[in-house]
């Protein structure tokens, strides 16, 4: 079986790589992070003009008609330079929740704004007590006539500058039940919503939100009442594959940059890359990256084929990317020495980003347990 990229995917990957090479040097990225929004509005407009915002969506909603492999090709290139624009949070994650929802009226109004780059959305799901469980939703949605009254809080919502939040709230059932979860579109400027911005360790901007007696029309609900969990679970799995593709891109950069450095840095009159102990460590970095690439392809195939084991394959991928991403980044820092964690060198920034990727929707341990439960229980 041929697992290589198609001709169209190669063209897409190369176009992304060329744009980033021209516009995303390390010093440019640092300048972007210091902007109030935490990303470049100019870059976001360019993403829209180049058609990248349309890639994950079907042609029925105005998209390119791409699939998880197409999105992964883009995300892997993003990972190589640590792109900070909210492509994953707004397009891959929140965007797919909207594109696959059953509220056709909401979808027809939101998708043009999303694809054009005019509006950004962010999925607000994590709570202080949830322990990364998608079904643990303590925020409540109480029906009152044609509206719902939302009360609760969400932690570390990505892209603090988003125009709209997709808030998961419980309209019925136990706090940890998969049934009874509803999903609402809420304007970020709603006066009943309080937002506190938080700078993550990788420099990106997130926020904690709290909402009290926030009234929302039932027309702003993405699915039928209490039936949002299957949609959330499906989209999150695919989004995690794309996120892991970003991690693979970062890992690829790290082992190549480390090998290049080892061949130029000299001690005792010779390049440190000639020391056998360091060669072994760099080979381990390469092998770990290749293993994650293989697991990435496996998860993509499982999703594209509609495999019953797709959740297991995604869990294994996320667990191994979390484990090996940290290992590769830490080895890169060690081989670079003390300057590997300074702001002047990019290596430390990759370490921080891979640590954050590991934590999204649960770390390596969480997904190992998830795989075990899916496989053996």
**Residue-level pLDDT at 261:** 94
Three-class SS state of 201: coil
**Residue-level pLDDT at 45:** 96
CATH architecture of 122-227: Beta Barrel (2.40)
Which tokens go with 79? Answer: 């990972």
Which tokens go with 124? Answer: 């607000």
The residue among 269, 266, 194, 183 whose CA lies nearest residue 226 is: 183
Phi–psi pair at 153, nearest 5 degrees: -145, 155
Which tokens go with 253? Answer: 């950069």
CA distance 76 to 16: 10
Tell which phi-psi region holds residue 136, choosing left (phi > 0), alpha (psi between -120 and 50) or beta: beta
Which tokens go with 87? Answer: 């492509």
CA distance 130 to 118: 32
**Residue-level pLDDT at 26:** 83
Three-class SS state of 203: coil
**Residue-level pLDDT at 199:** 94
The matching CATH number, chosen from 1.20.140.10, 1.10.1370.30, 2.40.30.10, 3.30.300.30, for 230-376 is 1.20.140.10
| Count of other CB atoms within 10 angstroms of residue 202 | 17
CA distance 286 to 298: 19
Q: Is 339 exposed, middle or buried (0-12, 13-18, 19+ CB in 10 A)?
A: exposed
Give 224's contacts (C-beta < 8 A, 6+ positions apart): 102
Asked if 148 and 182 count as a contact pair (C-beta separation under 8 A), the reply is yes
Write down the CATH number for the domain with range 7-119. Answer: 1.10.540.10
The residue among 139, 192, 128, 195 whose CA lies nearest residue 162 is: 195
How do the domains of the chain map onto residue ranges? 7-119, 122-227, 230-376
Give 226's contacts (C-beta < 8 A, 6+ positions apart): 171, 172, 173, 179, 180, 181, 182
Instruction: State the DSSP H helix or E strand holding residue 103, giving kind and residue range, or none if neither.
Output: none
Can 7-119 and 230-376 be said to share one CATH topology?
A: no
**Residue-level pLDDT at 1:** 61
> What residue ranges of the chain have pLDDT lower than 50?
none
Asked if 355 and 203 count as a contact pair (C-beta separation under 8 A), the reply is no
CA distance 246 to 1: 24
**Residue-level pLDDT at 377:** 82
**Residue-level pLDDT at 48:** 96
Strands 266-267 and 270-271: antiparallel
């Amino acid at each position: 079986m041929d697992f290589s990229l198609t001709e169209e995917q190669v063209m897409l990957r190369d176009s992304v790589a060329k744009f980033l090479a021209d516009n995303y040097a390390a010093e440019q990225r640092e300048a972007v992070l210091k902007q109030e929004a935490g990303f470049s509005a100019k870059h976001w407009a360019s993403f829209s003009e180049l058609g990248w915002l349309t890639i994950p969506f079907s042609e029925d909603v105005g998209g390119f008609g791409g699939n998880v492999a197409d999105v992964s090709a883009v995300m892997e290139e993003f990972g190589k330079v640590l792109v900070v624009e909210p492509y994953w949070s707004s397009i891959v994650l929140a965007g797919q929740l909207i594109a696959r929802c059953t509220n056709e009226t909401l979808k027809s109004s939101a998708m043009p704004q999303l694809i054009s780059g005019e509006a950004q959305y962010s999925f607000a799901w994590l709570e202080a007590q949830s322990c990364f469980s998608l079904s643990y939703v303590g925020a409540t949605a109480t029906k009152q006539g044609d509206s719902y009254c939302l009360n609760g809080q969400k932690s570390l919502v990505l892209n603090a500058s988003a125009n709209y939040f997709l808030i998961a709230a419980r309209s019925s059932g136990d706090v940890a039940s998969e049934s009874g979860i509803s999903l609402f579109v809420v304007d970020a400027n709603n006066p009943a919503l309080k937002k506190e911005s938080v700078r993550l360790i990788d420099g990106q901007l997130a926020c904690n939100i709290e909402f009290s007696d926030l009234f929302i029309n039932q027309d702003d609900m993405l699915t039928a009442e209490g039936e949002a969990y299957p949609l959330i679970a499906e989209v999150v799995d695919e989004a995690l594959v794309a996120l892991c593709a970003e991690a693979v891109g970062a890992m690829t950069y790290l082992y190549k940059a480390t090998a290049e450095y080892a061949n130029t840095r000299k001690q005792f009159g010779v390049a440190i890359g000639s020391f056998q102990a360091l060669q072994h460590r760099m080979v381990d970095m390469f092998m770990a990256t290749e293993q994650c690439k293989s697991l990435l392809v496996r998860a993509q195939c499982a999703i594209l084929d509609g495999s019953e084991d797709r959740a297991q394959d995604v869990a294994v991928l996320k667990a191994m990317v979390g484990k090996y991403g940290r290992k590769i980044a830490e080895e890169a820092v060690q081989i670079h020495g003390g300057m590997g964690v300074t702001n002047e060198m990019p290596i430390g920034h990759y370490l921080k980003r891979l640590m954050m990727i590991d934590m999204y929707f649960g770390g390596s341990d969480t997904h190992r347990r998830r795989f075990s439960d899916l496989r053996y229980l």
